[in-house]
Amino acid sequence: MRMVDIILKKRAGHELTKDEIEFFIKGYVDEEIPDYQVSSLLMAICCKGLNSSETAWLTMAMVFSGDTVDLSEIPGIKTDKHSTGGVGDTTTLIVVPIVAACGVPVAKMSGRGLGHTGGTIDKLESIPGFNAFQSRADFIRIVKDNGLCVVGQTGNLVPADKKLYALRDVTGTVESIPLIASSVMSKKIAAGADAIVLDVKAGDGAFMKTVNDAFLLAKEMVEIGSKVNRKTIALVTDMNQPLGCAIGNALEVKEAIGVLNCEVKGEIREVSLLLASYMLFAAGKCSSIEQANDLAVAALEKGKAAEKLKAMIYAQGGNGDVVDNPEILSIASDVIDIKAQKNGYITSILAQKMGEAAMKLGAGRVKKDDQIDHSVGITIRKKAGEAVRTGDVLARMYVKHEKGLEESKKLLQHAFIISDERVEAVPVVYGVVQ
């Protein structure tokens, strides 16, 4: 078998076989096939696409390119969730404790943030003492003991995806739905969960800018899951404005704790409860979404979910008292307000500009090895649809130094779109694919 023949076959628009896909993935990971040939095949895939069988074969070839996680020691149906990335999206810290409090184990591997989207591991590491990197044995033990554990991805989990993603980033082949779908699903499947719920973001602050593209990606991932016997459900949700009101690591943890303590409501609570409900449904805990929602709300309002987060933090070496006293978190004390420059109604808040503004302050990374400051960030004081008057505070910046400050201010001022007329609210959830 020759790589050049595989390239020519896909360039002509023909279906690749399972063996051909496995040959190319193995050869690339083993460094027997060079970057330039893989780049050529990726471009052919971008232009000609992959059918559902090819995408599933690619996904599983990537899964078995490295380590996989065996969760069979943990009783019950293990669930996982994944967001395609957004701004102010702290749902994992809310959803995972809710689901665990309802008796469904969650063994989750998460990543760090890059660019304008935040990473769950960075958020958790703003909690004093929290250790996101547990041994495999401790990961399993913590889930068995407490019902939940969130850890960083292991070094050899889906190495094919790491190599392909780096190559796609520099060869103009990122925007291919089959390649995106296989990248996401390979990591979720390798992480060992039986049931997977996906939060596919659509809008200004998301990777998928249109609702239609988000649904195409959602359908592709759900189809992959069904082909490899994983119960998979995808929700398409809005990212035309930040989901929560906090952007920045410690600030987002504080907001998540506020939701768990029933002090914070709004879209972030709504989406979190919906994701939790679908995870409970996917795990077979409930026969309907309505019943699952009742369980999730009860776990939240009775304080059981908050107790689960506290238990997980303690189990992973952190100060669980933060759940009762979020002031333990280190948050920058210097505050700068961004104010409305005219009267009107907020028609939208450009999520990507908000995320970039937080990144300029030091809350995010441009490159993977950049250091971040957990204490800095932004809180939103007015959301889309609200009336404002000149001088009203739109957002509050929590800053540590002058670097990036002026750029961040400009981004924030342009992120709030104010018009003379009120506009209809955009749906928070566009639909469900299952």
Q: Answer yes or no: do 237 and 372 share one domain.
A: no
Q: 273-288, pLDDT tens digit by residue?
A: 999 999 999 999 999 9
Phi/psi at 303 (5° precision): 85, 5
25-51: buried (b, 16+ CB within 10 Å) or exposed (e) per residue? bebbbeeebeeebbbbbbbbbbeeebe
pLDDT score, position 174? 81
Which residue from 95, 192, 196, 96 is spatially nearest to 136, judged by alpha carbons? 192
Residue 192: which CATH number? Answer: 3.40.1030.10
The Cα 295–Cα 300 span in angstroms is: 9
Domain assignment of residue 71, yes or no:
no
Question: Is residue 346 within 8 Å of 241, Cβ to Cβ?
Answer: no
- Domain housing 178: 79-156+174-323
Q: Answer yes or no: do 340 and 267 share one domain.
A: no
Q: How confident is the model at residue 346 (pLDDT cuts 50, 70, 90)?
A: very high
pTM, full prediction = 0.92
Q: Answer yes or no: do 358 and 310 share one domain.
A: no
Q: 267-322, pLDDT tens digit by residue?
A: 999 999 999 999 999 999 999 999 999 999 999 999 999 999 999 999 999 999 99
Q: Answer yes or no: do 192 and 220 share one domain.
A: yes
Active site residues: 82, 161, 168, 183, 187
Q: 65-117, pLDDT tens digit by residue?
A: 999 999 999 999 999 999 988 888 899 999 999 999 999 999 998 877 655 56
The number of beta carbons lying within 10 Å of the beta carbon of residue 402 is 7
Please give the C-alpha separations between residue 224 and each of 179, 189, 341, in angstroms, as whole numbers. Answer: 12, 10, 49
The Cα 120–Cα 63 span in angstroms is: 22
The Cα 149–Cα 134 span in angstroms is: 10
Q: 102-159, pLDDT tens digit by residue?
A: 999 999 988 776 555 668 888 999 999 999 999 989 999 999 999 999 998 776 889 9
Q: Answer yes or no: do 359 and 226 share one domain.
A: no
Q: Answer yes or no: do 222 and 312 share one domain.
A: yes
The Cα 354–Cα 352 span in angstroms is: 5
What integer is the mean pLDDT of 41-55?
A: 95
Q: Answer yes or no: do 296 and 384 share one domain.
A: no
Residue 45: which CATH number? Answer: 1.20.970.10
Phi/psi at 152 (5° precision): -75, 155
Q: 218-238, pLDDT tens digit by residue?
A: 999 999 999 889 999 999 999
Number of domains composing the chain: 3
